[in-house]
Amino acid sequence: MGLYLNPNAEAFKQGRKTRIYIDKSLVIDELNKLVSTQENFLCMSRPRRFGKSMLGNLISAYYSKGCDSREVFSQMKIGQVPEYDKYLNKFNVIKLDLNEWYQNALVENRLHSLIGDINKTLLGEFQKQFSNIEFAEGSSLASCILNVYAECGERFVIIIDEYDVLIRERVPKSLFDNYLAFLNSLFKGTTIRPAIALAYITGIIPIVRDKIQSKLNEFTEYTMLRPRQFAGMIGFTEEEVKELCEKYDVDYDECLRWYDGYKMSDTIRVCNPLSIVTAVLDRDFDSYWSATGSFEVLRDYILMDFEGIREDVIKMISGESVPVNVLKFQNTLESINSKDNVFTYLIHLGYLAYNRADKSCYIPNEEVRIEWVNSIEDSADYKRVMQIVNTSKKLLDDTINGNEEAVAKVLDAAHSEVTSPLTYNDEHCFQSAICLAYFYANTRYTLVKELPTGKGYADLVLIPFLPNIPALVVELKHNKSSESALNQIKEKNYCQALEGYYDNLLFVGINYDEKTKAHSCKIERFVKG
């Protein structure tokens, strides 16, 4: 047993002792299906604090010969699977946290010898654990693995956490080249491949196509764009969040509004574990995940001068989805040369979510949306947008108080910010403008667009999740009148879905005049007939 070769299960056991622990052990069942197949090299990329490291600890504890984990795994979900113990503590595990090695090398001013230090440390552990085998002086990790496999046929599981840290940190070329050689020796070639039963590497971004894909081209990638069978294995699913909310008496719907939204498949959406755990334990909803990093990372990219990026950023802050082509991104910061590249990178970072069905991206939840607003707050390019955001509370108050003229004036400004001259008269952009203007309403309401109700679809419905505030039905018209918008709400019975709010319900009719580029507004309180 060593620190890196056949580690014990203490990190895994420590994680299980935390106040909130979600059993993700069924990942083992999926991994066992891949052991010793042509699909046994996996790259799992997810945003920071999504649980990648904890999952790596679980995987290590299951496969490592350095511990006896039968008792603990027999009591977990994997223990209910037939032959769950097929590979239990059967392999030599090599577990490396590249970020830990990198940070230590920085502190010790040994960045130049990082890869050499990894090889030297692992050689020492091999010599201790396989004392009957002779290892040549200066042997690399790959050579040690091959030596053991040749001498006694023993095979290995390799776990590398944050494999991409040397890519994201833009290290000196000499170190990067050494790292490529290190990866090449471990994962490339017909000689070493049989010695590796499973390779599991994690990172924030997928494998970099133009630099190291040739070194890792045998890896199957499981990403935020295509998680495949591991969709619900990293992050908390909605079902897991519901169980936690029931146990700790926390508002489930509000929890989802704050932290849900990462659509991993047609049936699975996940939340950031850090945010859920903190919110549940503190019984307070706030921006927890974003507090672990700097919003400058987000700001640096959305302020880039690429065609259409500002317009799309405003739409997404307003609650819209925008199209994105995720196929062009080379998974490297140097390749970010377009709006699509920016948005694809932000999907991998967790600042955006992706909908495969319509190939669009969107801001996943309230926590992240606050981060987006923070990132543009001091930017001159978004000064007028922030003015609209900052006045959105007054707009909501004016709407509730029936101040029709004030509402129309704010909508004039919002419409001009959301749209370009070419799209000013686009009805979809009109709806985006309304949502931007009512930005503050997200702290009081659930905003539902195109709600099926009565004899059609209401353009926008604001359903309160706080007591003693009215629900709102908003109908939009183009080149007609705000009175006709109100009449449509009543004639098509759009209030039908809001029966529980009949004692406190407002109808809001809004019209946009294409010639004058002005808005008009009529507000009426619902009266039971």
Summarize pLDDT for 201-216 with one digit per residue, the tens.
999 988 866 555 556 7
Confidence check: pLDDT of 180 > 50: yes
- Identify the residue whose tokens are 């507090």: 291
* Neighbouring C-beta atoms of residue 177, cutoff 10 Å: 11
State mean pLDDT over 450-478.
91
Phi-psi region of 390 (alpha: psi -120 to 50; beta: other; left: phi over 0): alpha
Confidence check: pLDDT of 273 > 90: yes
Summarize pLDDT for 88-127 with one digit per residue, the tens.
999 999 999 999 999 999 999 999 999 999 999 999 999 9
Confidence check: pLDDT of 276 > 70: yes
**Residue 147 Cα distances to 128, 129, 144, 195, 254, angstroms:** 14, 13, 5, 10, 56
pLDDT value for 1: 78
pLDDT value for 134: 94
Pairing of strands 156-161, 92-97: parallel
State mean pLDDT over 278-296.
81
d(CA 339, CA 520) in angstroms, rounded, equals 35
Summarize pLDDT for 411-432 with one digit per residue, the tens.
888 877 765 543 444 566 677 7
Structure-token pair, residue 370 = 């606050």
Of 216 and 341, more confident = 341
Q: How confident is the model at residue 295 (pLDDT cuts 50, 70, 90)?
A: low
Q: Is 275 helix (H, G, I), strand (E, B) or coil?
A: helix
State mean pLDDT over 155-183.
90
Summarize pLDDT for 434-450 with one digit per residue, the tens.
888 888 888 888 888 88
Pairing of strands 269-271, 262-263: antiparallel
Q: pTM for the whole thing?
A: 0.88
- Biggest CA–CA distance in the chain, Å, is 92
Structure-token pair, residue 173 = 């070329």
Summarize pLDDT for 316-334 with one digit per residue, the tens.
988 889 999 998 887 777 7
pLDDT value for 328: 83
Confidence check: pLDDT of 390 > 80: yes
Confidence check: pLDDT of 492 > 50: yes
User: Can you list the domains of the chain with their CATH numbers?
Assistant: 10-230 (3.40.50), 236-291 (no CATH), 293-376 (1.10.10), 380-525 (3.40.1350)
**Residue 145 Cα distances to 149, 154, 285, 382, angstroms:** 6, 9, 48, 55
Question: pLDDT averaged over the chain?
Answer: 90
